[in-house]
Each structure stands twice: as structure tokens, then as C-alpha cells.
Structure 1
Amino acid sequence: MAAPLEHMTAGCAELERWMREDLAGAEPRGCDAVRRVTELFRGAECREAADEKIFTLVSQILSRALQEIRTQIVASESPSDCWCDLSAECFRCLRNACVQCPPNQNIIREVGLIEKATALIDVFTASNSAQESCIVAFRCGLQFLGNVAGGNRASQNSIWKEAFPHLFLNCLTHEDDKVSAYGAMVFYTCMDEDKTATLLDPTNLHLALGVITAYSKRPDAEWLHLIVTDRFFKCPELVKQMYASQSHADRMILLELILSKISEKSPLSEREMTSLRHIAEFLSDCFQKQCKAVLKLASPGDSEEEEALVVIRLLDLLCEMTSDADHLSCLQSCPGLLDTVVDTLRLTQLAGKQSKNVFTSTHTASLGSDLTHAAVGFKAHLIRLIANLCYRNRENQEKIYQLDGIPLILDNCSIDDNNPFLNQWAVYAIRNLTENNEKNQELIASMERQGLADTSLLENMGLRVEERDGKLLLKSVKKK
């Protein structure tokens, strides 16, 4: 049985003969010689036996293909199938050669194949051709770049130099799903902390925004998801710039991706946790600036108001983040957040009483499903956020007292079809507000004595008022 080195030597000799005899004309006659080398590179031993010569030959073939395809496109012709097929086979050959073989990755880079591959891919994007042979070559070229970059920082840097930012953006936004996916894979593989920071440059921000646009069209695209959650989210400043430059629709997508990140079960690194805390503080600031937009939903004509939907999603995110001990403390101390949440609850409560709208408490769901898509549960989530922000936090407990927030919460404890679990979140809020806080306990007790707090409501919360030594106390009742 012939040794791998002998196989590679024979393959190299056949490739040379083919180049002299079959590549000399106007069009190549097949590509069987390249295909046989591609098959050889499937074996690890043959990959290890390869030397620079065979990659130099492949480089020469790609140079010829690039020249011919470029000439055809300049002449407003479609790239011929034979040259596209040959390019695709060369890319398959190089793709196989790189598998778990850093020496081949290095040789390929050193003989200039990364530059030739990116130049040819650039030609494919410029041609905007939908012909099958062109698209297949495009895909194979991106697969090769992904393999040559895998675990090889020098190759990643070389690809980045050639492809950033225009080629990456063209691939991400390409109509072909596989081209977009493979382009995202190469982009993700080549990115590191320093490269992510280059997106902060206003001239490069469009690439980051392009990732979100591409994801909006392909929400199941794993590599696009990873680019945002594993790369962009490690740079809070980039997230801030993206949010500021986006449409409301794209902001919704970005917020959904943040929600998916904080919902992950896998443990996060300290770096990721720190970045997400900065992002949480930024989201708090966004909510405070935009929260009043939700009141537009009180008018039926504005039921699809996009900014209001963003506010609702921001509230959902803040609720989730304050349910996590890793993010809770930073949000509990965010300036103005608790004041804004209480003020928003008061305004939505008032809007619901002034006219019949989505903020009006209802037991029949008579407002219909056309409004519930936007604001269902909004008031319940406001109370949930208040509850979370006051959890074992004396300063925030006192602030709610000063803002006259306790009567407001008690006023939102009835069953409301537009706000599922409203009563349960109110119970949780009262518990957190009264825990080790006699002042808040006394306030609720005095409200019950004055008839301002419903006794049955307190009982449903598992509370009752007792008088002891001339003082009113709020006591927990053990349910039988």
C-alpha cells in the first residue's frame, strides 16, 4: 500500500500535467486532477504529508480562475460554469487541507491563498449572479476561509485585513441562506476583543447594524446569534451605539437577543457579567427616557406604536434582570429608576380610569385581542419591578413610602384580565416593602383602620392588622 507521501507526490505530478495540458486553453477541461487532491486531503496522514508545492499549484489555478471570471464580469457577461466549478473544487481542496492541520493553514496563508480567495469572493459579490455554479463556488470559498481561520490567529488577522468591513457585510446580507451563514461563521471566527472595538468607529458601525438586519431576516441563524451574544455584548459601548442608531423595529430585535443572553443556563465569565451589568444600567436609562411612549397605547389609533413596544420590552428585560442576583444590586442603585417605575404605574393607572382603554382594569377581556398584544401585563410587570427593586433594600423601601407608592400598589391588587398575576405580584411587592420595615407596616395598618385599605384584600395577601400597646401592627396570617 502506497504511503501518504507517495500519494501526495503522485497527486502533485498529476496536477502539474493537468495544468500544462488542460488548463492552457480558453476554458479548463474538467477538474478531475484537483478533485483527486481534494479526496486525498480527506485523510489526516495525507494532509500532514503535504508541502508548499501543491498549494502553490492550487494558487496558480485560482489566479487563472480569478482573471477569467473578472474579465467576464467586466464585459457584463455571466461567469462561465467551468471556471466557477473549478474555483469551487479548489476551495474544497483547500478547505479539506486545513482540517486540524495548523501547518497547512500557515503555508496556505504564506503563499497568498487567503488574498486570492477573498478577491474571488469579492468578484462573486460584485457579480450578484444567481447562477448555481457561482453560488456554489461562493459557498465553498467561505467554507475554506472558515477552516483556514479556525484556531489560527495569524490567518484570522489576514482574513480580517482583506474582508473587513465590506466583504463581511456583503456576505451577511446576501440573499442565499448558506452564503449568509458561512459569511457569519467566518466573521465570528475572526473577531476578538480588539476587532470588536473597531466597530465603534462611526464608519464601521454599519457592519454591526447589518448583523441585526441580517438576523431579522434569519432569526434561526446560529452564527448571527453568536456574533451578537458572544461578541457584541462583551462591548457595552458598542451596544449603546447600536441602540442609538437603530430603528424601533431593530431595537426590539437587539433587546430580544439581550433577553436570550441573560436567560442562558450556562455560567457566564466575570467579564461577561461585568459587561451585562453595564448593559443593564444602560437599559435602565433607556426605559427612563422612553417610558411615557407607552401611554400612546391608551389611544386605539396608536395600538401599533413601535416605540411603545420597545418600552414594554425594556420593562420585560428589567424585570428579568432584577430577578437575577447577579444584576439586581446594580439596578437597585440606578438613579431615578424606581421613581420612574412608580410614576409610570401612576400614569397608566390614571389613563385607565379616565377612559376605557388598554390600561383599564377588566374582568371580561372585552377590549379584545387587538390591543392585548402590546400592553397585556404591563402594569403587573411594573409592580413586579417595584417588588424586585425593593427586595431587601431599605433605601428603596423608604423611597416607595416617600413616593406614596404603597397606596398605589394596593389600588392595583384586583383581578384584571389585562394583567395576569397582578394580584400575586402585588402580594410579593407588599411583602418586600414590609420586610423588616415597621414604618411601611404601620402605614398599611393605618390605611386599613381608616378604611383606605380593603381588609379582605389584606387577608388574601395573608396579612391582618393587630393593635398592641396603642400601635397598629401588620402581622402575617398562617393559612389553614
Structure 2
Amino acid sequence: MAASTDSRMSMQTVIADILNEKLCPGHLQALKTFTASLRDQEYRDAVQGEAFCSLLKVLSRLLDELQDASDEEDQGLQLQMTAECFRGQRNACVQSTRNQGLLRELGFIEVSIKLLRLLQTITVESTDGILEPLRCGIQFLGNLAVGNQVCKDDIWQLSFPNLFQQLLSADDEKVVSYTAMVLHTCLDEAKVEQLAEPNNIDLALRVMELCRTQPDLDWTVLIATQHFVSSSSLVENMYTGMSHLERVTLLELLSAQLGEGDLKEDGAIPPSVARFLACCFQKGCAAVLTLASGSASNDEEALTVISLLDVLCEMTSDHRQFMFLQDHPDLLSTTVELLEQVHALGKASKNVFSTAQNFSSFSPDGDSSSSSPSISFKAHLIRLIGNLCHNNTDNQNKVRELDGIPLILDNCNIDSNNPFIIQWSVFAIRNLLEHNKENQELVAALEHGGVADYSALKELGFQVEERDGSLLLKPVRKDS
């Protein structure tokens, strides 16, 4: 039920009285009553600017007294009243553009942010005394910013980057979550480019660290996927300053976004990011070869390479905007050569790249419980080769010239270290043979170089016959 006119006037008078008396628990109760009244939309819409003027003066008094506080009992009441002021401000902004504008014009943003900075420097016996006003103050900024560009810009100007950085580093999950919400609300294309500047990159890196360490914190994930990945300069500068584990987090977010198959304009990944990641893969791909030694010293670097490969596989799968990667200099050659190297390592001795028949490590749904980061690596190399050769005669020919076709056929075996490698090999061979007579003739003339499940080629419309030690590829008859 809406508050009466008399009660509104009485409330305004009570708030004004707080300015002229020593603070006491009764003043806290008066603020709580005002805060509760502001939950009512009719009351919010009718509250006069004078009431907010009085509230601001109370907030300013609390700022001054907290700066000079010496008595712990007084400080406790001041902190409680600060939290209650923030609650009232927060409630006042709910679905009220008018109140958002009033609070901004009166100067609530500046005083509130000064208080948030001060609260982080105050030491009290119980951290709850600090956390309550901190949380409420950040929520106020969030409600003030929703749907109001001018307020977003003011909050950004006064908080970026230091206050955001401090609050995102707080030892309180709610403070971090609410801060991430405010940051997400304020961000736009221009502000993301500010984040990419060297002096500000630490804030972006902190967001990505939270994505890695607190994956259930939705706001940081939204910041990364809806804003960060759309800026090539930010992605490149972050990637350069990241540890390998942080890079993996970024790449996993990219891969998941690509896998959803719905790349909207917000958070769209620009072509320059795809080129950058392709170059990173080419430059660092040799690191994965160290996994064959069994040493864990380079596992993190190798895991980054594996994650880069996953992203490139997703980018070249049904995403037309990234198919220019088919022409990326030496990407196909690097991938074929890397497949050749890991395949040779797997044959030379027993290691993570060797073909295995250990299906006890697989769960009924097909997921491997193995801790090795190399699981499916060869299969994904073959997948990328197949993607890069789809409807691309030059790349089909290049794989043939690099002796990649027999290499792929030699991997067409059941392998517990590479689930679905047969399917990806079949897919790659189909793309290599399609409308390419030279490649078809090569497969037909191949000599048997090892045990291979060539029956899988029947899915492509071909059958393989062995004659005098050689393999002949023939079309499958319709009645066969």
C-alpha cells in the first residue's frame, strides 16, 4: 500500500533531523522505514527531490564521520546507516528513470564512490560490518546504471580502472559478483577499447582470472563472451599477458561460444582474432610434442596448443565468416606436418600419441576419464585438415603433395586415445576426394602400409580391394 502524503512529509522531516542530532539507533530505524517505503512503486514515483537532498546530506555526513571515526561503537552505527542509505538509493532507482536522473544530478554517484573507496580502507573486528555497506553501495551503482547511458558513463569515469580492480579483488563472492554486474552494465565498444590499453589491461586480466577460478560467476563469463572477444586488440593484449592456464580459459570460452552456433552481433568474433589465433597455433604447436616424453614441465603450454586447435576446428566448422582460414598462409601445411610428427612419435615408442585399445577408461557416455591433455589431439588435427579442404581444390592438392592422404588413412583405426578418429578420418578423406580425380587415383594406387579400417571408406561411396599387395579404390555398387 502506498504511503500517505503526511507520512511522506514526516519521513522527509525525520531524515532532515538526522543532520542536526547525534546519530542514534532511532535514526537507523528511520532510514529503514524510508528504505522500505521506496520498495513501493507509487511511493518511488511520488517522492520529492527534497527527500533525496536530505538523504544525500546524511550520506555525506556519514562519509565525513567515517573518515574521522575514533570510537568503534559509533563506527558500527555509521556503517549500518551507510548500508541503509545505499539500500534506499538502490530501491529508489528500480524502474525509475526519473529517480536515476535525480540522484545523478544531486551528486550521489561521487559521494557513493568516495564511500566505497573509504570502506575498503577501514579495519573492523567483524568484516560483516564492512561487507554490508560495500555490497549495498555496489548494488546501488548497478541499479543506477541499468538503461541509463549518462549514469553508466559517470560511473565508468569515476570507477575505471582502479575501483573496479579493487572490488573485483575483494575477498567476498558477493562483492565480486555485484562489481562484475556493474562492469558488464557499463561496458560498450569504446570502453572495451579503453580496457585494451596497456595501463588498463590488468583489469581485463582480472576478469579472465575470475573466469578461470570462479567459473560459476556468470557476470565475468558474460563480460568475456559478450564484450572482450569482440575486440581484437584486447584479445591480443590479454593473450600476451596471460599465463598458459589463463589462455586456455579464454580459448575454452571462445570454443564454447563458437560451438553454440549462434554468433550474434554482440560478442561477434572479428576475423582479426581468428588470424591471430591461427598464428599462435603455428608459432607454438611444437610444444605439444613434448607430451611424448611424459614430462609434465610443458603440459600447460601443450594444453594451450590443444585449446588453440579446438578453437580453429570450431571456427572452420559451418562458420562462413572464418572460412578465409583455408587460405591462411601455411596453416594447412603446419597441421599436416604436425599430424605426421605426432603419428611418428606414437609409432616409435609407447607414449600418449600411440594407438591404444584401453576402453576401460571410458564412461558409458563416451567421455574419457584419462587426465592426458592429448586425448583426441590427432583426431582434431585430422578434423581441421578436413575442414580446410572442404570445397577447396588447392588445399586438396596441397595435402596430396605433403603425403597427407596416406597419413590420414593410416590413422583410420579404432583408438581409445582418439575417440571418433575414424569418423574424422572418413570426413577428411571425403573432403579430399570430392571432385578431385588426382586424389582419387592416389588412394586407388596406395600400397598397404599398415592395418587400417578401410571399410569406413564405404561410407564415402568407395570400396577398397587388396590385390597383389596394393589397394584399389572402386565405387561401391548400389546392390552391394
TM-score relative to the length of structure 2? 0.90
Q: Which amino acid aligns with 2:44?
A: R
Matches within 5 A, 1:195-214: 195-214=191-210
Q: Is it true that 1:127 corresponds to 2:122 in the alignment?
A: yes
Match among 123, 133, 136 for residue 132 of structure 2: 136
Distance 1:333 1:9 in 2: 73
| Counterparts of residues 13-412 of structure 1 (less than 5 Å) | 13-20=13-20, 24-25=21-22, 29-72=26-69, 80-127=75-122, 131-264=127-260, 266=262, 268-269=264-265, 272-273=267-268, 275-302=269-296, 305-364=299-358, 372-412=371-411
> Secondary structure of the residue that 2:475 maps to in structure 1?
strand
C-alpha distance after superposition, 1:43-67 (max 9, x if no partner): 1121111222111111111111111
Q: What amino acid sits opposite 1:25 in the alignment?
A: K
Q: Which amino acid aligns with 2:94?
A: V
Conserved? CA contact 2:83–2:132, under 8 Å: yes
Deviation of 1:237 (Å)? 1.3
Deviations 1:456-478 (A, max 9, x none): 74333212269xxxxx8642455
Q: Which moved more, 1:295-304 or 1:235-244?
A: 295-304
Superimposed CA distance per residue, residues 422-442 of structure 1 (whole angstroms, 9 cap, x where no aligned partner): 112111111110011111000
Contact 1:464 1:474 survives alignment (8 Å): yes
Asked if the contact 2:390–2:432 (Cα under 8 Å) also holds between the matched residues in 1, the reply is yes
Contact 1:303 1:374 in 2 (8 A): no
Counterpart-to-counterpart distance in 2, 1:286 and 1:477: 46
Whether the aligned pair in 2 keeps the contact of 1:229 and 1:261 (CA below 8 Å) is yes
Gaps of 5+ in 2: 363-367, 466-471
Aligned mates of 1:193, 1:290 — CA distance in 2: 31
Q: CA deviation at 1:303?
A: 6.8
SS in 1 for 2:121: helix
Conservation of the 8 A alpha-carbon contact between 1:442 and 1:474: no
Task: Check the 8 A contact 1:358/1:371 in 2, yes or no.
Answer: no
Deviation of 1:31 after TM superposition, in Å, equals: 1.0
**Who is 1:11 aligned against?**
11
Conserved in 1, the CA contact under 8 Å of 2:432 and 2:439?
A: yes
Residues 69 and 79, structure 1, Cα contact 8 Å, conserved in 2: no
**C-alpha separation between the residues in 2 aligned to 1:345 and 1:363?**
20
How far is the alpha carbon of 1:170 from its aligned partner? Answer: 1.1
Contact 1:41/1:97 (8 A) holds in 2 = yes
SS class of match (1:95): helix
1:178 Cα deviation from its structure 2 partner? 0.4
Preserved contact between residue 372 and residue 418 of structure 1 (Cα < 8 Å): no
Change (3 A) 1:478 1:166: farther
Mapped contact 1:27–1:83 kept (Cα < 8 A): no
Q: For 1:449-460, list aligned pairs within 5 A.
A: 450-452=447-449, 457-460=453-456
Aligned identity (percent) is 42
Partners of 1:69 and 1:96 lie apart in 2 by 23
Encode CA deviations 1:78-124: one digit per residue, 9 max, x unaligned. 98221110001001111111111111111101111111111111111
Q: State how far apart, in whole Å, the 2-side matches of 1:79 and 1:86 are.
A: 11
Equivalent residue number for residue 430 of structure 2: 431
1:469 maps to none
CA 1:419–1:11 in structure 2 vs 1: closer, same or farther (change >3 Å)? same
2:469 aligned residue: none
| SS of alignment partner, residue 372 of structure 2 | helix
Give unpaired runs (5+ residues) of structure 1.
467-471
Is this contact kept in 1: 2:346–2:352, CA < 8 A? yes
**Counterpart in the other structure of 2:440:** 441
In structure 2, relative to structure 1, the CA distance for the partners of 1:479 and 1:433 (3 Å cut) is farther
Tell me the distance in 2 between the aligned counterparts of 1:76 and 1:340: 69
Q: 1:34 to 1:349 in 2, by over 3 A?
A: same
| TM-score normalized with structure 1 length | 0.90
Paired residues of 1:410 and 1:453 also in contact (CA < 8 A):
no
SS at match of 1:201: coil
Deviations 1:318-375 (A, max 9, x none): 1122222334412222221111110100110111122211111122469999975211
Structure 2 distance, partners of 1:243, 1:78, is 49
Cα distance change of structure 1 residues 267 and 419 upon mapping to structure 2, 3 Å threshold: closer
Decide whether aligned partners of structure 1 residues 219 and 341 sit closer, same or farther in structure 2, where only a CA change above 3 A counts. Answer: same
Cα 1:479/1:115, change in 2 over 3 Å = farther
Judge which range, 139-148 or 369-378, deviates more: 369-378
RMSD, aligned CA:
2.7
Relative to structure 1, is the Cα distance of residues 241 and 366 closer, same or farther in structure 2, using a 3 angstrom cutoff? same
Structure-1 separation of matches of 2:262 and 2:406: 40
Distance 1:388 1:2, change over 3 A: closer
Which segment drifts farther, 190-199 or 456-465?
Answer: 456-465
